[in-house]
Amino acid sequence: MSIIKACIFDLDGVIVDTAVYHYKAWKRLANELGFDISEEQNEQLKGVSRVRSLELILQWGHVTKTEAEQEELAAKKNEWYVEMISHMTPAEILPGAKEFLETCRAAGLKTALGSASKNSMTILDKINLAGLFDAVIDGNMVSKPKPDPEVFLKGAEALNIAPADCVVFEDAIAGIEAAKNGGMKAVGIGSPNVLTEADLVVSGLNEMSLEKLSML
Ligand code: B16
Ligand code: MG
């Protein structure tokens, strides 16, 4: 018998693929600064906060900026990103995500979002999924980035469920670490060769079932 009482979902890479929009906006910014970023480099930005992402990009381009300039650059990137996500539709929900959320809720499990993105609510509204989450914890509500467990612990607290009875769904290594650091179960979305610390790895939520949850 499973003790799982709540499912906490990361957003980018689990529910939607907003990484493509982040990449376009960061690439545009890098190009304006006179260099380029590769898809491999973009991989390293998944699950990483906006501020930290910019620090990494500036390092890759060997560019130094003051703190005030960095704030301006991050705001500029976010403007482009927000414009792009304003056109998102429910068609962009990753396969099986909506169905699995509905399955969990029908089984009496609580659901929460735990994302580093400060734009989480905008995205959930655009894809029409906000109503399937009992709690939403996003980048505006946390001070410590993953692998710190803060975002997921706040999710568990908002749901009033003990961390040990929660499972986190994550596509980033730091996110799996965050779940583990919080004393939670972790299901990786991606490759088992990459997400080695996860209790189970599936390629997408379309591969999840209540039976698989009960075996965690
Ligand atoms: P924002 P997640 C993360 O989302 C993204 O993977 C990461 O690329 C992004 O920099 C971060 O959100 C912050 O996003 O600029 O919108 O606040 O995977 O934690 O859902
Ligand atoms: Mg993610």
Average pLDDT over residues 52-68: 97
Quick check: 161 and 1 in contact, CB under 8 A? no
Query: Nearest ligand, CA of residue 18?
Result: 1
CA of 175 to the centre of ligand 1 (A): 11
Residue 173 CA from chain centroid, whole number: 11
State the average pLDDT over residues 135-164. Answer: 96
Residue minimizing CA distance to atom 3 of ligand 1: 47
Q: What is the mean pLDDT of the chain?
A: 96
User: Residues spanned by CATH 1.10.150.240 within the chain?
Assistant: 19-85
Its pTM stands at 0.94
Q: What CATH code is assigned to 19-85?
A: 1.10.150.240
Cis peptide before 163 (omega within 30 of 0): no
Domain made up of 6-17+90-214: CATH architecture: 3-Layer(aba) Sandwich (3.40)
- And the tokens for 130? 């906000």
The answer to whether 171 is a known catalytic residue is no
Query: Residue 82 has what pLDDT?
Result: 98
Is 125 in the active site? Answer: no
50 lines ligand 1 (CB under 6 A): yes
| Secondary structure class of 9 (helix, strand, coil) | strand
Can you tell me the distance from the alpha carbon of 126 to that of 144, in angstroms, rounded to the nearest whole number? Answer: 27
How far apart CA 9 and CA 171 sit, in angstroms, is: 10
Beta strands in the chain (DSSP E): 6-9, 110-114, 135-137, 166-170, 185-189, 200-202
Of the listed ranges 48-52, 77-81, 206-210, the one predicted with least confidence: 48-52
CA distances from 113 to 59, 85, 128, 196 (A): 31, 18, 14, 22
The residue to mutate among 10, 55, 71, 115, having the most atoms of ligand 1 within 8 angstroms of its beta carbon, is 115
Residue 1 has pLDDT above 90, yes or no: no
Where does the pLDDT of residue 43 fall: very low under 50, low under 70, confident under 90, or very high at 90 and above? Answer: confident
Element (H, E) at 120: helix 120-126
Q: Decide whether any atom of ligand 1 lies within 6 Å of the 45 Cβ.
A: yes
- Residue 3: predicted pLDDT: 86
Average pLDDT over residues 111-122: 97
Question: Is the CB of 13 inside a 6 Å radius of any atom of ligand 1?
Answer: yes
Q: Where in the chain is the domain with CATH 3.40.50.1000?
A: 6-17+90-214
